[in-house]
Homo-oligomer: A and B are copies of this chain.
Amino acid sequence: MLRFTKRSEYGLIALAYLGGQGDSYCSAREIVDTLGLPRRLCAEILKSLSTAGLVEAIRGPGGGYRLKREPSGLSLSEVITVLEGPLRMANCANGGECEKEAACLIATGVNRVADDIQGVLSSFTLADLIAEAQAKINAPTPAIQV
């Protein structure tokens, strides 16, 4: 339960990778080949991130993606919202087909939980993930390659 989808997982992985590459552009191909992720799926994810303005995309040879913002300014909350849509803990907590008073029994409390979880996700940034990732990118093997 309460798990990330692959979209979020791959998205965060790709972002962490981009974060470790500085200002240079990385092609989707490089990313998926380096990290061993499914190509098309990641392409879609990167596109979403691009549309949302989290990464910058440049076409053509030499192009690719790069972060549009400092990793420390990119919260997990934002990334996940882009890739999975907004948080909705219980059905009645959001949009609102809450006809049965039942759901509402816990709506208020659940909303409070949701807020706290959202807070956790907001408190973590891409920089936090990258801090961990750095060691793995730059340490054992020069760079994981295909």
A residues in contact (CB < 8 Å) with B: 1-5, 8-9, 12-13, 16-17, 35-37, 76, 80, 84-85, 87-91, 100-110, 112-113, 116-117, 120-121, 123-124, 128-129, 131-133, 136-137, 144
Known contacts A3-B90, A35-B101; 11 further A-B pairs (Cβ under 8 A): A1-B4, A2-B2, A3-B87, A3-B89, A4-B110, A12-B110, A13-B105, A16-B105, A17-B105, A109-B124, A120-B120
- For A91, the chain B residues whose CB sits under 8 A away are 9
Chain B residue contacts of A90, Cβ below 8 A? 3-4, 9
Q: Of B8, B9, B106, B131, which one neighbours A133 at CB under 8 angstroms?
A: B106
Number of copies: 2
